Amino acid sequence: MAQRVDKARELTGKPLTLSEKILYAHLWDGTPTKSFERGKDYVDFAPDRIACQDATAQMALLQFMQAGKSKVAVPTTVHCDHLIQAKQGAAKDLRRANETSNEVFDFLGSVSNKYGIGFWKPGAGIIHQVVLENYAFPGGMMIGTDSHTVNAGGLGMVAIGVGGADAVDVMAGMAWELKFPKLIGVKLTGKLNGWTSAKDVILKVAGILTVKGGTGAIIEYFGEGAQNLSCTGKGTICNMGAEVGATTSTFGYDDSMERYLRATDRSDVADAANQIREYLTGDDQVYANPEQYFDQVIEINLDELQPHLNGPFTPDLATPVGELGEKAATNDWPLKVDWGLIGSCTNSSYEDLTRAASIAKQAVDKKVKAKSDFGINPGSEQIRYTAERDGILKIFEDLDATIFTNACGPCIGQWDRSDLKGEEKNTIVHSFNRNFSKRADGNPNTHAFVGSPEMVAAIAISGRLDFNPMTDTLLNEDGQEVKLDEPAGIELPPQGFAVEDAGYVEPLVDGSGVEVSVSPSSERLQLLTPFKPIGDQIKGAKLLIKAFGKCTTDHISMAGPWLRYRGHLDNISNNMLIGAVNAFGKKTNFVKNQLTGEYGGVPDVARAYKAAGVYSVVVGDHNYGEGSSREHAAMEPRHLGVAAVIVKSFARIHETNLKKQGMLGLTFVNESDYDLIQENDTFNFLDLDQFAPEKPLNVEVVHDDGTKDVIALNHTYNHSQIAWFKEGSALNLIKKENAS
């Protein structure tokens, strides 16, 4: 690393940020030979490892199985965490998940065993906590098939969320390509105090940058304030960097990371890191004059930072606690809070649980009954076991909390919420990272607010969204007014972490004899058939839907109950865009079939076009495909005959996913052309046969009355990505290359 970084410093002729050091140290070609232009050059990288979770691993591994390799080329792990529904508590829920998803877990387990992939069983924990505890290391680069892979930035990595097809490249021993990111520096001064926590740093950053402000950039945190944060706190901040669209976020190696590495039984890694300490953080000159070296700089004083609650429906709507009463009244958000949920990959560390428990304990001691229901998802079996040993879980249980499995649970809609009958308007608070409409419980009228675990605990105890624990009192069972003291947490367990069975299964050294079988009649798994190239003559394509407003991957391919079909492309395609609002009529899952004039669900109309041999086109607004890494959001439209997705702007991972699947992801040169698109439009691509990098494409849009508009569309395809389009998908190209 030292040698490569020194070379990069020489070539760029300037001091380096940590992000640049890690990027230049992981070039596919080894020692750097030239400097790259940020935001412009496509660069081939060689990540150190890969992590996949059960909901995305199915498609990733189904693709990998077609790549013709006998083993993964770099260390890879699969984590079973998304498919476990929270309902009655850990023991029962886990048993049920093992029954209902047995086929999928077996598939993932045997594919892992066959191809040399480490397998973390259901109940072992949430991918990003497990990765932080076991695999992340300062100065490393990893990719993962989940947008919150970025969590590992808390241990000084460049860790990036990708679609399964990207992971397949690296598993198959090929380079991984990324446009060299821009750099946003966040200087943290001061020290967190009182009710403010690491979560509030990212809630604040989200308010400043908004859901697309980090697109194409790495966010690098530095300054004395950064050093004052715990390692898992840094993980929280990096994790939620996904919510501003950032490629990833990272922090320089420091004492907090060393403490964490030693506490998680990795003193060897800490010792190795200590030997090249200066290479694992940004150069002093960079942090002294950040404006000269970053594309954008934000400064946050932790001494003054206020606790926030962000929401509802979007993670960047930041409101300081204390101002929520007024805002809720103006916007008609229900003040009564029904649930407080603590957990998810962003906030389920030992420290998080102890800080929240310090609030819960006060409620018990001061005889305050919690007004909302409480649910807790520990981040890993190691955290759960240790927290149980240290009496922390007992505190929550004394407050009648339900301890759910060490898994994603309600964060991804795996939540059987029994307190609501229909689609009642209601409010919940949680320590998760995303709060898109319908995400936790499928109810479009659930107003979800994101806060720190300790703030979630306080709000849930009070049962009111406008409760401000810093100033307000609560009435206890004896009718006395009591106040909650500031939270107090424990960074790392004083007696060390402990665990009996962490839930890890080591793969066979030689897995060639392992049989992987997929039943042709399975409704959950389906072997993939290669996509046929779309070709360069797209004429007469019909508008499928013009999506109005926010269209995240949750809108395109909803999670919750649909997680069931993540390994079966045809079945999961029945959820395609059913959450997107049609700009014509403003309804969801109700679009016009131009061939019949009748209205129907989006997947049905798409299937009708496909059956008639007609391509279709999806049109969307800004930051289309925000959120998840799930490539189903690209594979479904591809499978159902969508040739092009034309939007004002894309979220990074989704745009790449579309390219990988051999379809067109294009943006309006003039954003206002979005307004020209009408319900009965037909699209004729005029110059797709001249598809070339940096050359806009032109499409003729024919309206119902026969009038036409020719619209210019930008794209970011480079030569190799155009080759994917021509072959029908990136996978088709890999197969072809491996066969020759």
Residue ranges in contact with ligand SF4 by CB under 6 A: 82, 126-127, 146, 148, 344-345, 408, 411-412, 432-433
With binding defined as CB under 6 A, does residue 249 bind ligand MIC? no
Residues 646-675 that bind ligand MIC (CB under 6 A): none
SS3 assignment, position 548: strand
CA distance readout (Å), 100 to 111, 381, 440, 474: 19, 21, 20, 43
CB of 242 to ligand SF4, least distance (A): 8
Count residues binding ligand MIC (CB under 6 A): 14
Residues 160-199 that bind ligand MIC (CB under 6 A): 161
* 566 part of the active site: no
The residue from 104, 238, 559, 617 that contacts ligand MIC (CB under 6 A) is 559
The residue from 76, 134, 147, 232 that contacts ligand MIC (CB under 6 A) is 147
Q: Residue 614 is encoded by which pair of tokens? A: 């007609």
* 169 part of the active site: no
Binder of residue 630, out of ligand MIC, ligand SF4, none (CB less than 5 to 8 A by kind): ligand MIC
Binder of residue 567, out of ligand SF4, ligand MIC, none (CB less than 5 to 8 A by kind): none
Decide whether 583 or 633 has the Cβ nearer to ligand MIC: 633
Decide whether 408 or 644 has the Cβ nearer to ligand SF4: 408
Decide whether 411 or 591 has the Cβ nearer to ligand MIC: 411
Binder of residue 321, out of ligand MIC, ligand SF4, none (CB less than 5 to 8 A by kind): none
Binder of residue 56, out of ligand MIC, ligand SF4, none (CB less than 5 to 8 A by kind): ligand MIC
- Strands 217-222 and 182-189 turn out to be parallel
Distance of CA 490 to the CA centre of its chain: 27
Decide whether 227 or 629 has the Cβ nearer to ligand SF4: 629
The residue from 20, 48, 93, 146 that contacts ligand MIC (CB under 6 A) is 146
Give yes or no for a contact between 386 and 133, defined as CB atoms under 8 angstroms apart.
no
Q: Which residue has the tokens 């397949």?
A: 168
**DSSP tally for the chain: helices H, then strands E:** 26, 31
d(CA 6, CA 440): 47
CB of 161 to ligand MIC, least distance (A): 6
d(CA 718, CA 740): 23
Candidates 28-36, 143-151, 284-292, 603-611; binding stretch for ligand MIC (CB under 6 A):
143-151
Give yes or no for a contact between 171 and 29, defined as CB atoms under 8 angstroms apart.
no
Residue type, 338: D
CB of 128 to ligand SF4, least distance (A): 6
What is the distance between the terminal CA atoms of the chain, rounded to a whole angstrom? Answer: 35
Q: Which helix (H) or strand (E) holds 118?
A: strand 118-120
Binder of residue 170, out of ligand SF4, ligand MIC, none (CB less than 5 to 8 A by kind): none
CB of 383 to ligand MIC, least distance (A): 18
* 146 part of the active site: yes
Residues 621-640 that bind ligand MIC (CB under 6 A): 627-630
Q: Residue 463 is encoded by which pair of tokens? A: 């049962």
The contact pattern for ligand MIC, residues 8-37, with x = CB under 6 A and - = no contact, is: ------------------------------
Q: Residue 419 is encoded by which pair of tokens? A: 């307190």
Residue type, 138: P
Closest listed residue to residue 703, CA positions, set 682, 685, 684: 682
CB of 359 to ligand MIC, least distance (A): 26
Decide whether 628 or 661 has the Cβ nearer to ligand MIC: 628
Decide whether 149 or 468 has the Cβ nearer to ligand SF4: 149
d(CA 620, CA 667): 9
Peptide bond into 312 cis (omega under 30): yes
- Strands 642-647 and 616-620 turn out to be parallel
Decide whether 298 or 411 has the Cβ nearer to ligand SF4: 411
Give yes or no for a contact between 357 and 431, defined as CB atoms under 8 angstroms apart.
no
The residue from 148, 266, 417, 654 that contacts ligand MIC (CB under 6 A) is 148
SS3 assignment, position 100: helix
* 478 part of the active site: no
Residue type, 539: K
Binder of residue 344, out of ligand SF4, ligand MIC, none (CB less than 5 to 8 A by kind): ligand SF4
Decide whether 82 or 266 has the Cβ nearer to ligand SF4: 82
Decide whether 149 or 264 has the Cβ nearer to ligand SF4: 149
CB of 345 to ligand SF4, least distance (A): 3
Decide whether 160 or 644 has the Cβ nearer to ligand MIC: 160
d(CA 305, CA 692): 48
In DSSP terms, which residues pair with 394 in a beta bridge? none
d(CA 187, CA 189): 6
CB of 615 to ligand SF4, least distance (A): 33
**Selected catalytic residue, list 82, 566, 622, 652:** 82
CB of 516 to ligand SF4, least distance (A): 25
* 6 part of the active site: no
The contact pattern for ligand MIC, residues 433-472, with x = CB under 6 A and - = no contact, is: -x--------------------------------------
Closest listed residue to residue 108, CA positions, set 149, 145, 79: 79
Q: Which residue has the tokens 């797209």?
A: 538
Question: In 125-272, where do the E strands start and end?
Answer: 141-144, 158-161, 176-179, 182-189, 217-222, 248-251
Candidates 145-153, 334-342, 416-424, 473-481; binding stretch for ligand MIC (CB under 6 A):
145-153
Closest listed residue to residue 94, CA positions, set 391, 558, 409: 409
Decide whether 310 or 594 has the Cβ nearer to ligand SF4: 310
Read off the DSSP letter of residue 34: S
Q: Which residue has the tokens 């932790």?
A: 302
Handedness of CA 536, 542, 548, 552 (dihedral sign): negative
Residues 375-414 that bind ligand MIC (CB under 6 A): 412
d(CA 723, CA 700): 24
Residue 612: CB atoms within 10 Å: 12
**Selected catalytic residue, list 573, 628, 629, 729:** 628
Decide whether 281 or 433 has the Cβ nearer to ligand MIC: 433
CB of 121 to ligand SF4, least distance (A): 16
With binding defined as CB under 6 A, does residue 55 bind ligand MIC? yes
SS3 assignment, position 552: strand
**Selected catalytic residue, list 48, 54, 81, 316:** 81
Residue type, 461: I
Residues 72-131 that bind ligand MIC (CB under 6 A): 82
CB of 53 to ligand MIC, least distance (A): 6
With binding defined as CB under 6 A, does residue 227 bind ligand MIC? no
CB of 175 to ligand MIC, least distance (A): 22
* 630 part of the active site: yes
Q: Which helix (H) or strand (E) holds 20?
A: helix 18-25
SS3 assignment, position 219: strand
d(CA 261, CA 276): 15
Indicate which residues carry an active-site annotation: 81-82, 146, 434, 628, 630
Contact footprint for ligand MIC (CB under 6 A)? 55-56, 82, 146-148, 161, 412, 434, 559, 627-630
